[in-house]
Amino acid sequence: MVNNIIYLDNGATTKVYDEVVEVMNECFTKNYGNPGSENELGEEALKLVNESRKNIALELGCKSEEIYFTSGATESNNLALFGVVEANKNKKRNKIIISKIEHSSVYESALELRKIGYEVKEIGVFRSGLLYMEELEREIDDETLLVSIVQGNNEIGVLQDIVKIGKMCKKKGVIFHVDSAQSFGKVKIKVKDFGIDILSASAHKIHGPKGIGLIFIRNGVKVEPIIYGGNQERGIRSGTENVPGIVGFAKAFDIINKIDKEKIRDLRDYFIGELEKIGGKINGDKEKRLYNNVNVCFVGANADELVLRLSLRGIMCSARSACLSKGGGENRVLKAIGLNNKEAIGSLRFVLSEFNTKKEIDYVIHEIKNLLLN
């Protein structure tokens, strides 16, 4: 493995903050009790879990009791769809609305619901990656149970107008779920102000640990659990609480809310400009996107080959979402925004963090240019 790594695959996962490792180590070595135990160590662990829940809830503008910890956004997304359907079986509403660019954990869940008789409507997007809002508004009707929309797309980073969608759903009395795995901690989210009923998030996208996530469920929204057991997380998600993960998640969330996001945005914009100079075409809207996402197409190139060759030079990026890479084949998101096969094959994803520098970006541009010429 190369010694000097330039890590630009932060959409897949992130380097854990040192401060996060530190607080997690305290849980592993000192505060290692089970929150369900009534002894002193158990009580201390429960206190840490509740403090973490409270701090996250405060930032999201909701009540602590509306936050439930899970293993990650994939579990949260599954809980959002299957849990809502199970809890509302007696209602006449049997329509689920998603977009064509949802993360696999929402998209595949919706397809499973279609198999058991639910109508699943997939809303298309413009070349920019932004939703056909008029179509969405038209489709939200009295038959609709749930609308599930990704806020920041994991491939192209495009940000949807969640506030506007929230108003549409509220008007029709429809449950609104937001997958914020990529946007959580990167854009300001106030669940009540935005009209969000359910929200999913994950720690490892914001320099927290893997294996821990959350789901916000607004009080009054009915959701049945999909994991049963010891009645932890107030019965919504059974299983011994991942105390180190929860504490690490809260710490990472606290840190990322305070970083200089404009500095990263400026570096991203510089990167985009340099990529365009060497023939790159940016996929998705340049303005309404996550401040650290760059998805670029080099027509005629093979992105998979470029990823491997860049990796040998110490540059870590991707040709598609990590959740799609194992399956290979067609990129559903790039197809949805209108890219042809040649354009999709030539598309790369770079996702920056606060640890990246202009010097690194200049080196990346230099290496991409050399690879495209050879």
Q: Which residues are catalytic?
A: 323
Q: What would the two tokens of residue 27 be?
A: 């849980």
Q: What are phi and psi of 281, to 5 degrees?
A: -115, 125
Coil/strand/helix, residue 109: helix
Coil/strand/helix, residue 368: helix
Contact between 337 and 101 (Cβ < 8 Å)? yes
Which amino acid, 161? D
Q: Whole-angstrom Cα distance, residue 194 to residue 267?
A: 29
- What residues pair up with 149 in beta bridges, in sequence order? 178
Q: What is 200-259 written as a DSSP string? A: EEEGGGTTS-TT-EEEEE-TT-----SS-SS-TGGGTS-S---HHHHHHHHHHHHHHTTS
Q: Whole-angstrom Cα distance, residue 127 to residue 157?
A: 13
- In degrees, rounded to 5, the angle at the alpha carbon of residue 313 between the alpha carbons of residues 309 and 317 is 65
Q: Whole-angstrom Cα distance, residue 303 to residue 138?
A: 38
Q: Whole-angstrom Cα distance, residue 183 to residue 151?
A: 6
Tell how strand 213-217 and strand 175-179 pair up: unpaired
